[in-house]
Amino acid sequence: MRRAILFLTFLILFSALGHAQIRSECPDQSKACTPLWWDSNTEPDVDRYFVYRSDTSCQDPSPEPSTCPSFVKISPAISQGPSLTTPRFIDENVEFGKAYTYTATAVNSSDLESAFSSQLGVQWANPNRPSPPGGFRGVEQGANLRLDWDDNPVAENVNLYNVHKSSSEDEWGQVIAMVTISEYRDMNPGRIGPKFLWVTAVNDQGSESIPSGPVIYRGK
């Protein structure tokens, strides 16, 4: 699955320097395509911008660098440009699957920096991650649960499937098997249930998909 997991924008005032809305609309929000952009500030003395990033959003009613210390400046000065074209910044230092919050500021020729723009929450998906196995299904046979799923497309170079098992529907649980074929039979001594099982695909680069499932073993 190659898509953004989270997309959020909202508009606030660029203090004394106009308005800005930071956003990212890349079809695959991956390391190879992580652009952030915003509307240029039209005030004649604005000449550059900075991008900030944090692991959490800022709840201060007037967010700016001094009131939101968790935000760290991650960009060099980004020039306004003579044509007021939309400024852009690409974050090349992201951890896939981790949630980030971005914001931007404008700076004028007197070195006065604006308050924060809107805050944008993004969780970047791994561009190399294969799609989750399709058609995941299971048949309970006494103390056994027979699992089957569809092979991933050949182009994804999947050479391994991980079977996960948990006692909670909210957790993948531990990997109980690594198989190279699209089936697995799980043994449940004592027929203790319920148990929840998922399957993920792993490609030849070691990237694991999000899980398919769960299939439930109900037991006694």
Domain containing residue 101: CATH number: 2.60.40.10
Which residues, in sequence order, are CB contacts of 100 under 8 Å at separation 6+? 53, 54, 55, 91, 94, 121, 122, 123, 124
- The dihedral through the CA atoms of 40, 46, 51, 57 has a sign that is negative
Residue 147 sits in which domain range? 137-217
Say if residues 165 and 197 touch (Cβ distance below 8 Å).
yes
The 10s digit of each residue's pLDDT in 140-168 is 998 999 999 999 999 999 999 999 999 98
Question: Between these two residues, 6 and 79, which has the higher pLDDT value?
Answer: 79
Mean pLDDT of all residues in the chain?
A: 83
pLDDT in tens, 29-86: 444 446 788 888 889 899 999 999 999 999 999 999 999 999 999 999 999 877 666 7
Q: Are residues 79 and 150 in the same domain?
A: no
Average pLDDT estimate for 173-195: 93
Within a domain: residue 128? no
What's the pTM value of the predicted model, to 2 decimals?
Answer: 0.54
Summarize pLDDT for 13-28 with one digit per residue, the tens: 333 343 356 665 444 4
User: Which of 66, 97, 123 lies at the terminal end of a domain, its last residue?
Assistant: 123
Q: Look at residue 3 and tell me whether its pLDDT is greater than 80.
A: no
Q: How many domains does the chain have?
A: 2
Question: Do 11 and 119 belong together in one domain?
Answer: yes
Q: Comparing 6 with 42, which gets the higher pLDDT? A: 42
Please report the pLDDT score of residue 22 as a whole number: 63
